Structure 1
């Protein structure tokens, strides 16, 4: 469906303005799909992101700094997210033996189990993008990478 129809706006001041609005609208649209995946599991997209980072690091521990650098949402409060994951039993926090101010975080068995329950998301994501061909997806990925590489936007 056209963006103009979705947000009931006839025109934009420029193609760049339409692109910005379209990206924001699409981000929210995609986020709503992902929120449905986590409904009933008491999990947020940020917590899911951290669990996937920890699973990728396993069996090695990960520092708070390492997790923050790899988060999709760089503005997330990583400490708070980790506190919730530890409370839920999905992650384990240990003091770093070399530096008591630092902590090592690893995913727990329970965390691995919840991720296994959510493995269907990879297939569901393919379904979300079924209106795009593989070459279109590859081109869109390349274009988005180019957009983020713009030094002026940083």
Structure 2
């Protein structure tokens, strides 16, 4: 089991400071694990998130709606979509009503990629928590926000 104080060789002035640093440290650890996992699929976790959003919507979405639904708000979402478009995982087309709006759909190649990724790829990240602990953690994070 991890111990933040040992991992970063530090002491904390109180438990709130320790909790905040632990959240940041853990978020970076999760990001690192996910970046490594998605290398095999030649996409980033953020690109996976965009594909997941489009698949779940089951309809075309405009860029702003996708940005609003992303887990990690990214100012470079358009660049991420450019890369997905270049790989033929998404398709862009102009709105019929507003030429400033671009709509995005997931392609069959994008669906095939999503279907090749195990749905439980994050399971190992949570292996040390039972269901009750995971619920408590989730509730505490919700309360914090």
4+ aligned runs moved over 6 Å, structure 1: none
Task: Say if 1:50 and 1:67, in contact at 8 Å, map to a contact too.
Answer: yes
CA distance in 2 between counterparts of 1:83 and 1:89 reads 10
After TM superposition, list the pairs within 5 Å mapping 1:50-65 onto structure 2.
50-58=50-58, 60-65=59-64
Q: Report deviation, 1:27.
A: 0.6
CA distance in 1 between counterparts of 2:144 and 2:107 reads 37
Cross-structure match for 1:124 = 121
Task: Say if 1:61 and 1:106, in contact at 8 Å, map to a contact too.
Answer: yes
Aligned-pair RMSD on alpha carbons? 1.1
- Say yes or no: does 1:25 pair with 2:22: no
After TM superposition, list the pairs within 5 Å mapping 1:84-123 onto structure 2.
84-118=83-117, 120=118, 122-123=119-120
Q: Report deviation, 1:30.
A: 1.0
CA distance in 1 between counterparts of 2:75 and 2:25 reads 20
Cross-structure match for 1:145 = 142
Cross-structure match for 1:3 = 4
After superposition, what is the alpha-carbon deviation per residue over 1:50-100, rounded to whole angstroms, capped at 9, x for unaligned? 000011112x10011100100111133111111111111000001011111
Number of aligned positions between the proteins: 144
- Where in structure 2 are there 5+ consecutive unaligned residues? none
Give the structure-2-normalised TM-score: 0.94
CA distance in 2 between counterparts of 1:83 and 1:123 reads 27
Q: Report deviation, 1:39.
A: 1.2
Task: Say if 1:95 and 1:102, in contact at 8 Å, map to a contact too.
Answer: yes
Give the structure-1-normalised TM-score: 0.89
- Say yes or no: does 1:39 pair with 2:27: no
